[in-house]
Amino acid sequence: MKFKPLIYLSLFPLLTSCSSGVIFEDKAFAFDTMIDMKLYEGESSSLKEIKNLANTYSKLTDNYLTSDVNNVYTINNTNEDVSVDSNLYKLLKLSYELKGKGLTYFNPLCGSLAKKWKEALDKKEVLSSGIIEEELAKINSSSLTFKDNNIVQRVGDAEIDLGAIAKGYYLDSVKEYFVSKNYTKYLINAGTSSILLGSKNTDDGLFNIGLSYVKNGYLKLKNCFVSTSSNKSQGVMIDGKIYSHIVNPINGSALNENDVAIVVSNNGAYGDAISTTLTMCNIEEVKEIESLFEVKAIIIKGSDIIYKNQELEVYYH
């Protein structure tokens, strides 16, 4: 038969072009929240890899529990040299230096202040100014020293809290992993506050990102990080004001200038740190930080968008 090779040739594309339609989904519980994962290509073992990564980073950045490896909790309970995993070392160094790079309201050493606020708010009380003063003094008299061989030394009594940047940093490593596997279609949602977007398995590849506090509002995004800081989900209302888990390291207040700050960026760690900071900034400061770090933000107060970067478009259903 003359066409034998043709038949085999025509079968080949059949075997290699099976692609779209596949979705691998999984959930990981780390960073005290749930990481919802969707991968639209590759294999499910890749998600297991991401889950392991989440557990590793979560243990390293945990400031509540001790672990079999040196983590943030370890550093917070000593002033000696602590040898840590290189990823934690890099994250600590990055977080510590962000303030100097222009993110004035970002300080990873406000862990103790944040804990005291949480304790007070759990009892529906406002933290006393006396304790706030004490904690601010602790922060201002503490520092981190970064030595060779991934050794960190904490000076002073202030505690490290990486909650405002850890998930974003984790998502950066997830992105690196996906790039190494040549994956481009995925959505990794870490507690809705840190989201890594590849593209979706549709024609335009855009994901619909719903804005909970803007009625029927949503964004259409892909290939970026979306970081959200908000006082709405964990906030406590006392005397008509919403006190959040986001504390200002300069004045010790848990009252935020803005209710929700959404940051679209191409770096998860920066996006997370910036979104936390923007809840404490006025619009002028927001614009400065946007141009300094090349990110795009949306600021919401109540249910109104009081600022939106012009490159971001809000759609309505």
Residue 66 sits in the site that holds another protein (CB under 8 A) = no
Give the footprint of another protein on residues 101-120 (CB under 8 A): none
Could you tell me which of 134, 127, 136 has the C-alpha nearest to residue 109?
136
Q: How far is the CB of 40 from another protein (least distance, A)?
A: 11
CB-wise, 59 or 200, nearer to another protein?
A: 200
Distances (CA, A) of 82 to 42, 66, 141, 227: 39, 14, 20, 30
Residue 89 sits in the site that holds another protein (CB under 8 A) = no
Strand 207-210 to strand 33-39: parallel, antiparallel, or no bridges (unpaired)?
unpaired
CB-wise, 82 or 261, nearer to another protein?
A: 261
- At how many degrees (to 10) do helices 111-122 and 129-140 cross? 160
Neighbour-count burial of 231, counting CB atoms closer than 10 A to its CB (0-12 exposed, 13-18 middle, 19+ buried): buried
Residue 45 sits in the site that holds another protein (CB under 8 A) = no
Among 187, 269, 274, 289, binds another protein (CB under 8 A): 187
Among 104, 140, 192, 309, binds another protein (CB under 8 A): 192
The b/e string for 263-273 (b: 16+ C-beta within 10 A; e otherwise) is bbbebbbbbbb
Residue 26 sits in the site that holds another protein (CB under 8 A) = yes
List the Cα angle 41/171/232 in 5-degree steps.
115
CB-wise, 202 or 303, nearer to another protein?
A: 202
Among 9, 25, 155, 292, binds another protein (CB under 8 A): 25
- Choose one: 107-115, 157-165, 202-210, 303-311; the region binding another protein (CB under 8 A): 202-210
CB-wise, 156 or 191, nearer to another protein?
A: 191
Residue 289 phi/psi, 5° resolution? -65, -40
Local structure of residue 126 (DSSP, 8 states): P
Cα distance between residue 145 and residue 117, in whole Å: 27
Among 34, 126, 131, 314, binds another protein (CB under 8 A): 34
CB-wise, 146 or 213, nearer to another protein?
A: 213
Could you tell me which of 221, 292, 223 has the C-alpha nearest to residue 262?
221
- Choose one: 22-30, 91-99, 100-108, 288-296; the region binding another protein (CB under 8 A): 22-30
Residue 30 sits in the site that holds another protein (CB under 8 A) = yes
CB-wise, 260 or 280, nearer to another protein?
A: 260
- Choose one: 27-35, 89-97, 132-140, 278-286; the region binding another protein (CB under 8 A): 27-35
Residue 210 sits in the site that holds another protein (CB under 8 A) = yes
Give the footprint of another protein on residues 216-275 (CB under 8 A): 218, 226, 228, 233-234, 262
The b/e string for 37-65 (b: 16+ C-beta within 10 A; e otherwise) is bbbbbbeeebbeebbebbebbbbbbbbee
Structure tokens at 20: 């779209």
Among 5, 7, 13, 100, binds another protein (CB under 8 A): 13
Cα distance between residue 260 and residue 17, in whole Å: 43
What does the binding site for another protein look like in residue numbers (CB under 8 A)? 13-14, 17-21, 25-27, 29-34, 64, 187, 189, 191-193, 195, 200, 202-204, 207-212, 218, 226, 228, 233-234, 262, 317
